[in-house]
């Protein structure tokens, strides 16, 4: 082989050898021959795309299957064959393990079914068993739920009858008698009805059948006046509770599957775009969201921030596409001009050939004069065409350079816009990611200087009422007003971050606890002095605040948690106040 050391030389030699050997230029053949020429060992590439497609098709019907699929996804994302091997080994070991002991479970089930348990009749046992059999979609789920049912029977299900057995003495007059003759409190009946109607109806929005049954149970408990009616209600409530448990398990599995699907989208979204930087900011935000316990406040905050960011990026992307289209049009014009120039020179060569024939056949000098005139005219025509093409090409080159500069500028602006996700686009304050970076810097500075540092957590009082009464746009304006007042009141070295929804975190550098409390009280006073105006109407905005001083060895999340707890103490104490942690 040729003595080639530079990668470009090796690549050139590889292409030459492929042609000489008449080997198909496939990626595998190129890789093998490249390493052969370079004298290096061919490294196996990790088939990430194929493994991700394989992982996406794995079953996820049970918790165990979902756990196994998540382990495979993580291993593929890390590009680790060792992790994939460990996961497959674990799966095979479990497969080789002893299968579920159905015979023992059935024996225990029959034994507990025939045994007598206080407060549990054979009819209730049969009803519970029928519900378990109907609601279990896979053998693994059925085995687990039957085990739980047998265990409950063995421990005594009389405790489930506490709704009727544990009625308080001295119940209010008008309460219905329980199954054992003791009265059940009318207040308890009403509380059960409210629980069924007001609370469970929200949780059962996706299951109309159970929602309707909850409303029926609420009506029955309100109307119950005899022991027989209470006993009938108790049986229906137990049946309902079994079905409710299975619905909760199904919803938990569905939530887990949706989160996993979202994680797959995040991991593969970079493959859907040409420039990975374009979605770097959005992917970072969604990854942070998925990695935390979900809440409506977090989702609302991210949705608001992402809408504005996506709108800005769509405009930049459109401008970038327009610049690229202009560049393509200029290149097409360049090709057309070359074709015209080639056509002109082709005609010139043909006519010069005709003139040459005439010169060779001429016998008179006057004939040569006519031929020379034609040659001069054609040469002049070609000269003018060449000069015109040169001028057009120079102009086109200048336009191409301008387009390239515009594309580069838009790409840089697009990348900078993606970095804006460290700031909240509504209020201009830092977001959670920006806050984490800022608090890390301030903690390092405080510990180097051995100085105090405090963290304040504030939450706008009655913010939901503002949204409900005036609309979300006014609520957004109130958030902007609060952020502006805080920035104007505090020092330049203090940092404001939007923690989520109507909650804000303030990092107070070089500040002791008492001084931090006084600073936040000063912000409260300034906020009451600078009214928030909506349609010439003054709206008073107040907030409750908790302040915590960072301990010597305390991590920042610990101080934020203590400030959050102090803030809730301020809420319970009457709102519009500052409490030190």
Q: Domain locations in the chain?
A: 7-38, 48-96, 111-258, 315-421, 432-580
Q: Residue-wise over 75-99: b if at least 16 C-beta within 10 A, else e?
A: bbbeeeeebbeebeeeeeeeeeeee
DSSP state of 176: P
Q: For 433, phi and psi rounded to 5 degrees?
A: -65, -45
Q: Contact, 546 vs 456, CB < 8 A? A: yes
Running DSSP on this structure, what letter comes out for residue 199?
I
What pLDDT, in 10s, does the model give residues 203-251? 776 677 777 787 888 787 777 777 777 778 788 888 787 777 777 777 7
What the block records as the tokens of 395 is 């102009």
Q: Which of 293, 294, 298, 576 is nearest to 458 (CA)?
A: 576
Architecture of domain 432-580 in this structure = 2-Layer Sandwich (3.30)
Q: Helix %, strand %, coil % for the chain, to 5? A: 70, 5, 20
What confidence score (pLDDT) does residue 246 get?
75
Mean pLDDT of the 451-469 span: 90
Positive or negative torsion for Cα 185, 186, 189, 194: negative
pLDDT 10s digits, 469-495 = 888 888 889 999 999 999 999 988 899
Residues 6+ apart with CB under 8 A from 189: 175, 176, 221, 222, 224
Average pLDDT of the segment spanning 552-559:
88
Q: Tokens 């079914």 label which residue?
A: 113
Task: Decide if 502 is catalytic.
Answer: yes
- Place 110 in a pLDDT band, splitting at 50, 70 and 90: confident
pLDDT band at 270 (very low <50, low <70, confident <90, very high): low
Q: What is the mean pLDDT of residues 438-445?
A: 88
State yes or no: pLDDT of 279 exceeds 60.
no
Q: Which one has a higher pLDDT value, 211 or 295?
A: 211
User: What angle in degrees, to the nearest 10, is found between the helix axes of 365-419 and 280-290?
Assistant: 20
pLDDT over threshold 50, residue 158? no
Is-contact 265 271, C-beta < 8 A?
no
Beta bridge partners of 407: none
The active-site residue out of 502, 503, 553, 554 is 502
What is the maximum alpha-carbon separation in the chain?
143
pLDDT at 521: 94
Q: Is 165's pLDDT higher than 50?
A: no
Q: Please tell me the distance from the alpha carbon of residue 564 to that of residue 541, in angstroms, as a whole number.
A: 20
Chain mean pLDDT for the chain:
76
């Amino acid at each position: 082989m040729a003595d080639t050391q530079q990668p470009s030389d090796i690549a050139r030699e590889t292409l030459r050898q492929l042609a000489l050997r008449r080997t198909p230029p496939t990626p595998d053949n190129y890789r093998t021959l490249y390493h052969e020429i370079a004298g290096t060992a061919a490294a196996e590439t990790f088939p990430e795309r194929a493994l991700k497609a394989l992982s996406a098709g794995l079953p996820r019907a049970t918790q165990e299957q979902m756990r196994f699929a998540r382990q495979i996804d993580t291993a593929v994302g890390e590009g680790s064959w060792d992790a994939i091997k460990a996961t497959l080994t674990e799966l095979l070991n479990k497969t080789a393990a002893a299968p579920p002991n159905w015979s023992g479970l059935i024996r225990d089930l029959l034994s507990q079914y025939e045994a007598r348990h206080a407060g549990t009749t054979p009819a209730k046992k049969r009803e519970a068993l029928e519900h378990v059999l109907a609601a279990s979609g896979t053998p693994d789920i059925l085995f687990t739920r039957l085990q739980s049912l047998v265990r409950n029977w063995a421990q005594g299900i009389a405790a489930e009858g506490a709704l009727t057995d544990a009625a308080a003495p001295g119940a209010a007059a008008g309460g219905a008698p329980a199954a054992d003759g003791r009265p059940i409190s009318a207040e308890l009946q009403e509380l059960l009805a409210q629980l069924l109607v007001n609370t469970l109806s929200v949780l059962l929005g996706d299951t109309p059948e159970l929602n309707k049954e909850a409303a029926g149970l609420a009506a029955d408990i309100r109307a119950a006046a005899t022991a027989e009616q209470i006993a009938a209600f108790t049986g229906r409530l137990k049946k309902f509770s079994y079905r409710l448990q299975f619905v909760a398990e199904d919803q938990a599995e569905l939530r887990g599957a949706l989160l996993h699907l979202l994680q797959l989208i995040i991991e593969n979204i970079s493959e859907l775009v040409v420039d990975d930087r374009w979605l770097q900011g959005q992917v970072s935000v969604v990854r942070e969201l998925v990695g935390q316990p979900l809440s409506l406040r977090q989702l609302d905050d991210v949705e608001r921030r992402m809408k504005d960011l996506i709108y800005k990026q769509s405009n930049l992307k459109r401008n970038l596409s327009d610049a690229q289209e202009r560049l393509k049009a200029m290149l097409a014009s360049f090709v057309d001009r070359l074709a015209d120039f080639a056509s002109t020179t082709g005609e010139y060569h043909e006519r010069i050939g005709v003139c040459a024939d005439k010169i060779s056949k001429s016998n008179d000098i006057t004939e040569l004069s006519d031929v020379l005139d034609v040659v001069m005219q054609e040469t002049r025509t070609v000269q003018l065409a060449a000069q015109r093409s040169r001028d057009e090409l120079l102009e086109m080159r200048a336009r191409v350079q301008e387009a390239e500069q515009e594309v580069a500028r838009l790409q840089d602006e697009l990348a900078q816009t993606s970095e804006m996700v460290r700031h909240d686009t509504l209020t201009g304050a830092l977001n959670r990611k920006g806050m984490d970076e800022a608090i890390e810097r301030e903690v390092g500075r405080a510990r180097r200087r051995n100085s105090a540092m405090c963290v304040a957590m504030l939450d706008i009082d009655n913010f939901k009422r503002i949204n409900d009464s005036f609309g979300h746009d006014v609520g957004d304006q109130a958030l902007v007003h609060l952020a502006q007042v805080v920035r104007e009141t505090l020092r330049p070295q203090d940092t404001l971050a939007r923690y989520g929804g109507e909650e804000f975190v303030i990092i107070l550098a070089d500040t002791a606890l008492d001084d931090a409390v006084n600073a936040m009280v000063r912000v409260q006073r300034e906020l009451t002095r600078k009214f928030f105006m909506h349609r010439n109407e003054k709206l008073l905005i107040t907030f409750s605040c908790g302040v915590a001083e960072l301990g010597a060895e305390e991590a920042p999340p610990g101080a934020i948690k203590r400030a959050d707890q102090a803030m809730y103490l301020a809420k319970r104490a009457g709102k519009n106040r500052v409490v030190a942690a």
